[in-house]
Chain A
Amino acid sequence: MKMYFLKRLLSLIPVLFIVSIVIFMIIHLTPGDPASLVLGEEATEEQIQAMRADMGLDLPILTQYFHWIGNALQGDLGTSYFMRQPVTEAIVSHLAPTISVAIIAGTISLLISIPIGILAATRRGTNTDRTVMGISLIGMSVPSFLLGLFLILLFGVKLRWLPVAGYQPITDGFFGHIKYLILPSIALGSMHAALIARMTRSSLLEVLNMNYIKTARSKGVHEYLIITRHTLRNAFLPILTVIGQTFGSLIAGAVVTETIFNIPGIGQLIINSVERRDYAVIQGVVLFVTCTYVLINLIVDLLYGVIDPRVRLNKK
């Protein structure tokens, strides 16, 4: 188990190395540079070149890469050209809103999706099943940004129950923090809920048709126990995989939703940095997101063994 964990962590090194090269080359070969954007559109070529030199962008690209990777290995991801703060600091400050949204959206999606997925599976072929599947299809089909705009119009503009946009740190008050995140979390969580609900239904149906379930039923085991103890646990591995992937995408930043609701999270950071050609931040965020994805996948893999003893790593 420990060896497996260690191996997976070590496998992160080549992944990050390859990602670092690819992202560094892509963004440095893309036209545009931060100096033009900092100085404004009326800046002269001479001024732009002077600032490029100050930023070290006039050096050969390989020199720039080795300089950057050398510092990154020591934990220094560089300094944002635009925000004038260390990249790690920028990531940390933008991470809190993203994590908050991810937790709330994840909670909403799980609270909705698992029960309705079970409901649809246990009432297969009925109107309940068809309704749940129909709603989940709509949930998957409606882009989160569109749902977000509808939610803003209804709950923000029309009813005035919730703020239309913005963010308040939890340190400034829990309710203030929550009220800004309810709408974006619903917008994001709905799509994920739909996906997880469909996965729950299909996964449960597969297990419900197995002989040991029929045996349990013939022995008179209560339906509630059959679902919760015997079916759900055995059907949970594919559901867990989807949950892991959706949570990973939430942490990586929901770019459009964060933009619409004006949440200063990782998604906004990456899109703003691309628009500003803030190379150091783009590189730092991509490395961070890569690490996050790999680690979430690792956690999901380890959870497989917790849920299902058959896939425990120390059992051959």
Chain B
Amino acid sequence: MMKKFVLLIVALFVFALVGCSKDEPKDGEGSAEAEYGGTLKVAMSAQPPTLDVHLTTSSDAIDVSLNIYETLVAQNSKQQAEPVLAETVEKSDDGLTYTFKLRKGIKFHNGKEMTADDVVASMNRWVEKSSRAKVLLAGSTFEKEDDYTVVLKLQNAVTDVLDVMAGRGQFPAIMPAEVLASAGTDGVSEYIGTGPFKFTDWKQDRFIHLTKFDDYSPAEGEPDGLVGSKTVYVDDVEFHIVTDSSTRMAGVQTGEYDIALNMPFDSYEQLVTTSNLQTFSPFDKGAISLVYNKKSGIMTNPDLRKAINAGIDSHSVMLAAVGNEKLFKLSPNFMSPENADWATDAGKEVYNLGDVEKAKQLLKEAGYNNEEVILYATGDYDHHYNSAVVLKEQLSKMGVNAKLEIYDWPTLLDKRNGPENWDLMVAGISYVTTPSQLLAVNPDWPGWTNDEKISTTLDEIRVAATKEEAKEKWSDLQSYMWNEYVPHTQFGHYASVISATDKLEDLTIFNTALLWEVKKTK
């Protein structure tokens, strides 16, 4: 009896294994004609808090939402603003009015045609909710002129309007007016846009399911970043929430997932040498910086900040942070070095000096008397933590009495809001489209930059007559920020690591994996 029972169990187990194993196609079978389609499975590291992108700056929310929503203008691959849902954009002579002619026949995922009413409702809500738009476009309003024309009226004739509107964080997604009208304080309850994929389902902590939008109307032109035509070759997309990086790695290796985002830096070499994978390391995420508290404590003294900056060896910090020379770039650019409009190496004379003796001398001249300096970092992100550990050592060599305090991410977000809590903080700084949006110059963001010259020059940049003039002023300001005010010491720029199976064709990476144009054989 017992033997029979055991045999039954073994038989069931083997049966289950056989039933579970993949059906491998026989030689020659199915290879005759490659047909694109199927479900694209993307493994992401965290679940977005919401897909209402007017409310959140979460990069996970943006990675998903870029496929659902579109904007009036968006970034091309050179991070320059170009029309998407707008057909044309005209600026008035006085620079106070922008007229957006909308493309006709654009359908929302609910079947309704997009008109000026939807655009006005979306854009005005975005100006109200977005932390950047609220400051940079304060007092601006979008008004309907006719069903396909929207006018933006500005308080000041600033020139970076389109760049701000093309920003990635908290982007101005166009949603149906009625969806926005019924939104609560926690955001919209329906995720409806005009993008190439429509929202289908969200299984909490499992996946977000999008399906190809058959009535999608792509813009004209070649695909270029977030603009141009967007042809969809897959039927469905599933964003799987896979918090463990080793699971994402094993998943993409075995084909369980087609694309894995946010791969750990230390797996880079293994991934690039894995034969069935294609691995990307685009420098489009941001930089790692040391933020000084300029509101309270001893770091309000700019001479102290200059002294510490002189002693920092950025190469060592970045190598510890990401562990691979191929995954970081040393550059004093506060903006992305890839940004065609704003990249400048002004300030390079005081960047990455690593001059401990000079730092000691400057500290002495600044009146530093061994006061305790609190250095904040999070342990939730390895590159932040590793940077902080090396930085602490460097500070000790300079003679700075630094105390490293490591917190989990939610705790750090809370504690850093208290100016009296900390002096230094290691932070990741995302790229933005204009200097005015940099966290290094933001008076409200922890660090609390508050400098007359910075704010005046930023205003001048925003009203500069030409791009060249604006860039020259920005170059001068970046030099001033490195040499005089030192709001942050930027260690360097780091790449993100994204892997995909080699079965995918034409996969483009622009901040994240773009899911249009990518082809998957059924």
**Of B131, B203, B246, which contacts A149 at CB under 8 A?**
B246
Q: Which of A41, A43, A45, A175 has the most B CB atoms < 10 Å from its CB?
A: A41
State whether A41 and B413 are in contact (beta carbons under 8 Å apart), knowing that A157-B250, A157-B253, A264-B205 are contacts in the complex: yes
The distance from the CB of A94 to the nearest CB of chain B, in whole angstroms, is 7
The distance from the CB of B13 to the nearest CB of chain A, in whole angstroms, is 8
Chain A residues near B56 (CB-CB < 8 A): 38-40
CB atoms of A179 and B413 under 8 A apart: no
CB atoms of B240 and A262 under 8 A apart: yes
Kindly specify which of B15-23, B213-221, B449-457, B471-479 makes contact with the partner chain: B15-23
The distance from the CB of A85 to the nearest CB of chain B, in whole angstroms, is 7
B244 on interface, CB distance cutoff 8 Å: yes
CB atoms of B243 and A272 under 8 A apart: yes
The docked-state distance in angstroms from the alpha carbon of A302 to that of B436 is 69
CB atoms of B20 and A179 under 8 A apart: yes
Chain B residues near A162 (CB-CB < 8 A): 17, 20
Q: Which chain A residues in 22-79 approach chain B with CB under 8 Å?
A: 30-33, 36-48, 51, 54
Chain A residues near B186 (CB-CB < 8 A): 38, 51, 54, 81, 84
CB atoms of B206 and A82 under 8 A apart: no
State whether A166 and B256 are in contact (beta carbons under 8 Å apart), knowing that A38-B50, A161-B20, A275-B409 are contacts in the complex: yes
CB atoms of B240 and A40 under 8 A apart: no
State the main secondary structure of chain A at its contact with B: helix
CB atoms of A175 and B439 under 8 A apart: no
Number of A-B contacts (CB under 8 A): 153
A195 on interface, CB distance cutoff 8 Å: no
CB atoms of A32 and B131 under 8 A apart: no
CB atoms of B242 and A165 under 8 A apart: yes
**Of A38, A156, A167, which contacts B55 at CB under 8 A?**
A38
The docked-state distance in angstroms from the alpha carbon of A167 to that of B411 is 31
CB atoms of A40 and B204 under 8 A apart: no
Q: Which of A81, A153, A165, A182 has the most B CB atoms < 10 Å from its CB?
A: A165
A261 on interface, CB distance cutoff 8 Å: yes
Chain B residues near A259 (CB-CB < 8 A): 243-244, 247
A268 on interface, CB distance cutoff 8 Å: yes
CB atoms of B414 and A44 under 8 A apart: no
The distance from the CB of A110 to the nearest CB of chain B, in whole angstroms, is 11
B38 on interface, CB distance cutoff 8 Å: no
CB atoms of A37 and B410 under 8 A apart: yes
B358 on interface, CB distance cutoff 8 Å: no
- Which interface class (under 10, 10 to 19, 20 to 34, 35 or more) fits B? 35 or more
State whether A39 and B57 are in contact (beta carbons under 8 Å apart), knowing that A33-B414, A165-B247, A260-B244 are contacts in the complex: yes
The docked-state distance in angstroms from the alpha carbon of A90 to that of B206 is 12
**Of B50, B185, B246, B250, which contacts A54 at CB under 8 A?**
B185
Chain A residues near B9 (CB-CB < 8 A): 111
Chain A residues near B16 (CB-CB < 8 A): 175, 178-179, 182
A123 on interface, CB distance cutoff 8 Å: no
The distance from the CB of B298 to the nearest CB of chain A, in whole angstroms, is 23
CB atoms of B49 and A82 under 8 A apart: yes
CB atoms of B411 and A30 under 8 A apart: yes
Q: Which chain B residues in 390-432 approach chain A with CB under 8 Å?
A: 407-411, 413-415, 417, 430
Chain B residues near A260 (CB-CB < 8 A): 244, 246-247
Chain B residues near A272 (CB-CB < 8 A): 47, 205, 243
The docked-state distance in angstroms from the alpha carbon of A37 to that of B61 is 12
CB atoms of B250 and A165 under 8 A apart: yes
CB atoms of B240 and A166 under 8 A apart: yes
State whether A164 and B445 are in contact (beta carbons under 8 Å apart), knowing that A175-B19, A182-B16 are contacts in the complex: no
The docked-state distance in angstroms from the alpha carbon of A276 to that of B48 is 11
CB atoms of B411 and A31 under 8 A apart: yes
CB atoms of B414 and A268 under 8 A apart: no
The distance from the CB of B9 to the nearest CB of chain A, in whole angstroms, is 6
Q: Which residue of A lies closest to B24 (CB)?
A: A160
CB atoms of A157 and B49 under 8 A apart: no
CB atoms of B205 and A160 under 8 A apart: no
